[in-house]
Amino acid sequence: MYSLPESVEIRTGTRVEKILTQDGKAVGVATESGSFTAGTVVYSGFARSLPSLVSLPHEYTEKLSIIDQTTSLTVWLGLSGKMKEFDYIGSEVWFKDWAYWAMPISNYDPCIAPKGKQLVGFTFVLKGKNNLESEKKRAMDIIERAVPGIGKYIEMTHFQVTIPEKAAVTIKGYFAGQRSPIGNLYLVGTDTDKRSMGVTRAAYSVLELMKVMREENKL
Ligand X SMILES: Cc1cc2nc3c(=O)[nH]c(=O)nc-3n(C[C@H](O)[C@H](O)[C@H](O)COP(=O)(O)OP(=O)(O)OC[C@H]3O[C@@H](n4cnc5c(N)ncnc54)[C@H](O)[C@@H]3O)c2cc1C
**For ligand X, which residue of 15, 127, 137, 211 counts as binding (CB under 6 A)?**
15
Closest contact distance (angstroms) between CB of 29 and ligand X is 8
Residue placing its CB nearer to ligand X in the complex, 11 or 96: 11
Per CB under 6 A, which region of 83-91, 126-134, 157-165, 174-182 contacts ligand X? 157-165
In three-state secondary structure terms, 32 is coil
Q: Which positions from 29 to 48 touch ligand X by CB under 6 A, shown as an x/- string?
A: ---------------xx---
**Which amino acid is it at 134?**
S
Secondary structure string (H, E, C) spanning 70-109: CEEEEEEEEECCCCHHHCCCCCEEECCCCCEEEECHHHCC
What is the rounded end-to-end Cα distance, in angstroms, of the chain?
A: 17
- Of residues 176 through 205, those in contact with ligand X by CB under 6 A are 189-190, 198-200, 202
Neighbours of 165 (CB within 10 A): 18
Burial of 219 (0-12, 13-18, 19+ CB in 10 A): exposed
Q: Kindly state whether residue 89 participates in binding ligand X, applying the rule CB under 6 A.
A: no
Residue placing its CB nearer to ligand X in the complex, 69 or 80: 69
**Which amino acid is it at 143?**
I
The contact set with ligand X (CB under 6 A) reads 15-16, 44-45, 162, 164-166, 189-190, 198-200, 202
